[in-house]
Homo-oligomer: A and B are copies of this chain.
């Protein structure tokens, strides 16, 4: 894409009403537009990042047998009253309509997915079942000041699974845990599966997936030797204690940010909806249910918080809006511009995702904006390139500069997809 045609331009100043680093940077760089506290629109660059994250999540959920659906977001109140959430969960929006009925907009979808599963699951032969969707969620938050990390509206992947036995549930739960860890790795983050309380959904334990970052709202204890990790909220251990799990390591304390959670819901929702199936002996049984969430917009915010430096955003390759930022230092229709434009076309032809800064601005201005946008690799086409055919490749994260010949440069991007 040519940057001259991108309507959402970067700007110098941070918005005055925004306290979070993620939203400040994303607004300045033209990725998002703030509608109100906790509600953002995603402009072309922001939308590209969301799609990258969503594709990764979709692939990993498909790989463990999830079937994608698209559930309603406007819900009748009846199922929410049936589960007790209508009165119990304070972030549930309540909508009065012109009809006699009350509605809500979903903050989660157990109330919708359980009756759907109930319609199609009659026998043990129909189990296990895992369905998921990627869509908008809504929470009536009193305060919202973490930018896109905690919104009144946000995009979430929510998966729900139904099982015959606790063993089958445990097997799927472990598979989902591994799929989640793969998602975070592909997004560029290292997350820890952290034991936490089940919240209002369940009395059982649950896992929260935590990324160690100073921007985190949570505190965790983690072992130096084994994967053991626990939210301090539910632990009576403290920093320096020996790990009770492996007996070898010691516990460290750190700030962390939640980037997903998985819950064992037991049979709560099937009980609420009188949802039974015929087991192998022909007896009525309730399925065991799990819930598996990843906040897509939240994950984008955590990536920004985790990698940004004093010059701007730094995207990991897996979620960057473009693989390369081609910056021409030419003036309109001079030799440098012609060389850059030809190279842009060639990159497009090779299927390389490239943002092409074809604007007539000072180099300093272009470089500062390129740093702010955070595309992993910058290709600079200046005067010397016209003679030598050698371009400058700058790594956004490390600042490393390489001089690379045109064909080698293309080959390198083509290799990375």
Question: Which A residues are closer than 8 A to B by beta carbons?
Answer: 5-9, 30, 33, 35-36, 39-44, 46-47, 50, 67-76, 90, 93-99, 101, 103, 105, 112, 116-117, 119-121, 126, 129, 131, 136, 138, 140, 142, 152-153
Contact = CB atoms under 8 A, between A and B. Distances in A.
Contacts of A116: 33, 41, 43
A371 B129 CA distance: 26
A76 to B, nearest CB: 4
A90 B98 contact: yes
A105 B74 contact: yes
B98 A69 contact: no
16 contacts: A5-B67, A7-B120, A7-B126, A35-B72, A35-B76, A39-B76, A41-B70, A41-B71, A42-B71, A43-B69, A46-B69, A47-B68, A47-B69, A50-B70, A73-B153, A74-B152
Given A7-B67, A7-B120, 4 more contacts: A35-B72, A90-B98, A94-B96, A105-B105
Contacts of A36: 76, 101
Contacts of A103: 93
Contacts of A101: 36
Contacts of A72: 35, 39-41, 153
B94 A69 contact: no
Number of identical protomers:
2
A148 to B, nearest CB: 11
Contact of A44 (B41, B67, B119): B67
B112 A35 contact: yes
A140 B41 contact: no
Q: Which 6 A-B pairs have the closest CB atoms?
A: A74-B153, A42-B70, A41-B71, A36-B76, A35-B72, A39-B72
A341 to B, nearest CB: 19
Contacts of A41: 69-72, 112, 116
Given A7-B129, A44-B68, A69-B47, A39 B74 contact: yes
A224 to B, nearest CB: 42
Most buried by B among A6, A36, A74, A90: A74
A99 B35 CA distance: 16
A152 B133 CA distance: 20
Residue with the highest number of chain B CB atoms closer than 10 Å, among A5, A7, A73, A101: A7
A160 to B, nearest CB: 11
Contacts of A7: 67, 117, 120-121, 126, 129, 131
